[in-house]
Copies of this chain bind each other. A is one copy, B any other.
Amino acid sequence: MGTTLYVCVTCRAGEPPGEDRARPGKRLAAALAALPAPPGVRVVPVECLSACSTGCAVALAGPGRWTYVYGRLGEADAAAILDGAARHAATADGLVPWRERPEIFRKQSIARIPPPEIPAP
């Protein structure tokens, strides 16, 4: 099993409510869905990642891997998000070397969570 890329589709990213345009989270999810998913990456829409003050947000998770959450993203970041997800999927533990991460992942980290079994620090 590879990496699941969760996309918050309820995110407003600070935009005022309006019925004439889809929410920023929905638009980001559509931009991701419009591109080919990299091998080992599954894109899953989610209602609220509780990162409302730093939206739009996505999370990368997979068995045995560190989970990562990134924020302040938009439609223009879709290709870079999928590139970062592919790199996460290509590792056994989710730890992509710093320099190989997309710039948005280096600069817009919200949090990371260890896999269930990690050695004590």
Q: Chain A residues in contact with chain B, CB under 8 A?
A: 4, 6, 9, 44-51, 54, 57, 59, 61, 63, 67-69, 71, 109-114, 116, 118, 120-121
Give complex CA distance A121, B49 in Å.
13
Which of B44, B61, B68, B118 meets A46, CB within 8 Å? B118
Query: Looking at the complex, which one of B4, B57, B121 makes contact with A116 (CB distance below 8 Å)?
Result: B4
**B112 contacts A61, CB within 8 Å?**
no
- Quick one: given A68-B50, A118-B44, A120-B45, are A113 and B9 in contact (CB under 8 Å)? no
A22 to chain B, nearest CB (A): 14
Contact check, B51 vs A111: say whether CB atoms are below 8 A apart. yes
